[in-house]
Structure 1
Amino acid sequence: MTDQGNDQLRPMPEDWRRALAVVAHPDDLEYGCAAAIASWTDGGREVVYTLATRGEAGIDTIDPATCGPLREREQRASAAVVGVSEVEFLDHEDGVIEYGPALRRDIAAAIRRHRPELVITLNHRDTWGGVYWNTPDHVAVGRATLDAAGDAGNRWIFPELTEQGLEPWDGVRWVAVAGSASPTHAVDAGPGMERAVRSLLEHRAYIEALTDQHPEEYCRTFLASHTDAAAARFGGRPAVTFEVFSR
């Protein structure tokens, strides 16, 4: 049996022009994905962010009515650092997102609106590998995104979307899952790393509530620990990893 830990990660597909990143919360993409996104936008590719919530339940010391708008502002600023100008929010309730037809429909609608070839989401499995438990929101949104990539191309699933002018889009070729414990592909993190640090740092209110460590030191250390860990499987280069599902 082949030891997966010794398998080399493949480069991400490059024959695409538009990507849609769908995650649960502000900061989900910045915890590891932003270096790849910076490289893609540098190359002239378009990336759009769709967030299921505004992260309003994410900071214990700030009430949701105040926290939601704050985290939305931080997310828009964070996206701009890596060349993403379009950020939309689906307004599901933070912390209690429910997997099901309503979530799949909202994500399928986003896919039909933006018509990506590549869809990006976050780990949809119960754990991050081993005993590190994932959150229900990540699981629900990741799983619904994988399903919605197919829903978006079927006019008989959610026909109300067609009635709203959102024609079916069967052009999704890959769904790339960030934060997977079973990655298959990677992107060189080097060119985009400094902007990835600055992008995560834009979530300052969240980070300052999370840790007493200096915010920039925290961001740089966290991101480097993950990209450096992937280097052995990517030709010695620090890398952002993805588990890629072809369609």
Structure 2
Amino acid sequence: MSTPIPIENVRSALVVAAHPDDIDFGAAGTVALWTAAGVAVTYCICTSGEASGDPDRDEAEMARTREAEQRAAASQVGVEDVVFLHHPDGTLTASIELRRDITRVIRDVRPDRVLAWSPEINWERVPTTHPDHRASGEAAFAAVFPDSRNPHAHRELLDRAGLEPWTVRELWITDGPASLRNHVVDVTETFDKKMAALRSHASQVGDGVELERALRAAFGATARAAGLGEGSYAEVFQVVSTA
């Protein structure tokens, strides 16, 4: 696995995900390292996770619950800015409307780095390869390149909202095919924060005891495979320069 050198002097980062809790499963340890280093991180969540819970639950109440849980989870890793796009959960597509909405957030936040989900299937971990995840990743990629930097894309953002084009310098992709992953992040020192963030999603994970056991095994195996040694934990990404 070749390890690219991430860009330096990152001032702000944007993380785009399909559902509340996706970031905390996939990247919260890394996000906690970024915020500890002074990076301003914004979360952009495409849906409110309303397509979850018991079949007879109230959809609007579930959406409110999951949004509150995500805000609480974000605060565990130093993130206070959480944006919800309110696209429908379970039927997310990489539509021009979703691309426009993510582009709006990019031009508003003006991040140096965007982290998003892979638009490709990870055949090694099919349960995480939700169609909504891949749709959010495809739309986020299009928003990074070319939409956010193209003054002719989504003209209403410039003409009516005054949001100037912005070029994201670097894209981090999670949960993609193993052959494309090229950057390992040692999250041993922030793994407890990652688990605290996940336990904030009580409607989804309960008390989190069994989940923590499973994740320590999984992220520990990732660390060992990267040569970090016993007792370490790691998250892994594909890092892409957009220059």
**Taking structure 1 as the reference length, what is the TM-score of the superposition?**
0.88
- Superposition deviation, residue 12 in structure 1: 4.4
Once residues 77 and 58 of structure 1 are traced to their aligned partners in structure 2, the CA distance between those partners, rounded to angstroms, is 19
What residue in structure 2 maps to residue 224 of structure 1? 216
Once residues 111 and 234 of structure 1 are traced to their aligned partners in structure 2, the CA distance between those partners, rounded to angstroms, is 35
Once residues 174 and 218 of structure 1 are traced to their aligned partners in structure 2, the CA distance between those partners, rounded to angstroms, is 35
- Superposition deviation, residue 19 in structure 1: 0.3
Contact in 1 for aligned 2:16/2:46 (Cα 8 Å): yes
Contact in 2 for aligned 1:32/1:223 (Cα 8 Å): no
Match of 1:100 among 95, 98, 114: 95
Once residues 114 and 101 of structure 1 are traced to their aligned partners in structure 2, the CA distance between those partners, rounded to angstroms, is 20
Match of 2:195 among 194, 197, 205: 197
Q: What is the SS of the residue equivalent to 1:30?
A: helix
Q: What letter corresponds to residue 155 of structure 1 in structure 2?
A: P
5+ long unaligned stretches in structure 1: 1-6, 209-214
Distance 1:234 1:86, change over 3 A: farther
Q: What letter corresponds to residue 32 of structure 2 in structure 1?
A: A
- Superposition deviation, residue 132 in structure 1: 1.7
CA offsets 1:23-56 (integer angstroms, 9 cap, x no match): 1100000113111111111111111001011101
- Superposition deviation, residue 144 in structure 1: 0.7
Taking the TM superposition and a 5 Å limit, the aligned residue runs for 1:174-185 are 174-182=170-178, 183-185=181-183
Match of 2:18 among 24, 27, 37: 24
Taking the TM superposition and a 5 Å limit, the aligned residue runs for 1:21-60 are 21-60=15-54
5+ long unaligned stretches in structure 2: none
Taking the TM superposition and a 5 Å limit, the aligned residue runs for 1:100-119 are 100-119=95-114
- Superposition deviation, residue 234 in structure 1: 4.5
Distance 1:131 1:218, change over 3 A: closer
Q: What is the SS of the residue equivalent to 1:94?
A: coil
Q: What is the SS of the residue equivalent to 1:139?
A: helix
Match of 2:148 among 149, 152, 155: 152
CA offsets 1:108-166 (integer angstroms, 9 cap, x no match): 111001000100112321x3224726222111110110110021000011111101111
- Superposition deviation, residue 235 in structure 1: 3.6
What residue in structure 2 maps to residue 233 of structure 1? 226
Contact in 2 for aligned 1:10/1:186 (Cα 8 Å): no
**Taking structure 2 as the reference length, what is the TM-score of the superposition?**
0.90
Contact in 2 for aligned 1:54/1:71 (Cα 8 Å): yes
Query: RMSD of aligned C-alpha atoms?
Result: 1.7
Q: What is the SS of the residue equivalent to 1:129?
A: coil
2:61 aligned with 1:66: yes
Once residues 178 and 52 of structure 1 are traced to their aligned partners in structure 2, the CA distance between those partners, rounded to angstroms, is 16
- Superposition deviation, residue 15 in structure 1: 3.2
Contact in 2 for aligned 1:78/1:200 (Cα 8 Å): yes
Once residues 214 and 175 of structure 2 are traced to their aligned partners in structure 1, the CA distance between those partners, rounded to angstroms, is 13
